[in-house]
Amino acid sequence: MTDTTFRSPNKKGKIAVFISGRGSNFMALHDSIKKGYINAGITVVFSNKKNAPGLQIAQDRNLEILYLRPKNYESREDYDMAIAKELRSRDIDLICLAGYMRILTAEFCREFKHRIINIHPALLPSFTGLHVQQKAIDWGVRFSGATVHFVIPDVDMGPIITQAVVPVLQKDTEDTLSARILKEEHKIYPEAVRLYFEGRLEVRDRRVLILDSLFKS
């Protein structure tokens, strides 16, 4: 008996992308889907910010967009429940957080367990939270990078799917390091979603195994 807890589905997936800002990771995902690299479609692009630039881009790309105004809800739980209802009605397989700046409630994370992934601009578990590129520079690490991980109620702590490493240069500013990391984000996020819908991600406790990987040995 193995202790496998989750195996991602091998199917054409329905994705909801959550954004709060410019949406470059959303675009990278969408571009990869259009090229046939990922076996999925973006069903809806959701935002908690009415004027998120990425929402406008999604609209220009003829994708369904959805905005819910947080102030219309009494609590974070109510807000997330409203989102969950929208997702259920669209039969969403995977939620891709892409610069979504609200912390999801534990209840929401539980309902969509193993169906929410996030991209973080540092090598987790180092540098959680915000402004992590500056934190990496200030700490003096020689390398930082990006991480795609499953989302659990503990922020930035879910099982890691893919990572990319970039050097931290002595002359780096928050902006230059962010740009170097972002380039890698746009590669590893599509890669992680592709693996997900190829049915190749297996979560065993904290570890995510990539099935049939060239790098398994």
Is 32 near ligand GRF (CB under 6 A)? no
Is 116 near ligand GRF (CB under 6 A)? no
Nearer to ligand GRF, 7 or 183 (CB): 183
**94 token code pair:** 């995977």
Is 190 near ligand GRF (CB under 6 A)? no
131 catalytic per annotation:
no
Q: What angle do CA 154, 168, 147 make, to 5 degrees?
A: 30
Min CB(53)–ligand GRF separation in Å: 8
Interacting span for ligand GRF (CB under 6 A) from 17-25, 29-37, 79-87, 136-144: 17-25
Annotated catalytic residue: which of 30, 114, 120, 186? 120
Gap between the Cα atoms of 28 and 97, Å rounded = 13
> Which helix (H) or strand (E) is 55 found in, with range?
helix 53-60
Report the Cα–Cα distance between both ends of the chain, in Å, rounded: 21
Which residue of this chain has its Cβ atom nearest to ligand GRF in the complex?
Answer: 99
Is 159 near ligand GRF (CB under 6 A)? no
Q: Mark 83-102 with x for binding to ligand GRF (rule: CB under 6 A) and - for no binding.
A: ---------------xx---
Is 13 near ligand GRF (CB under 6 A)? no
- 30, 115, 120, 149: residue in contact with ligand GRF (rule CB under 6 A): 120
Whether the CB-CB separation of 126 and 111 falls below 8 Å is answered with no
Nearer to ligand GRF, 30 or 115 (CB): 30
Closest CA to 163 of 110, 130, 124: 124
- CA-CA distances (angstroms) from residue 194 to 63, 85, 145, 183? 20, 26, 20, 18
Gap between the Cα atoms of 199 and 151, Å rounded = 18
The catalytic residue positions are: 120
- Which positions touch ligand GRF (CB under 6 A)? 19, 21-25, 54, 98-99, 119-121, 182, 185
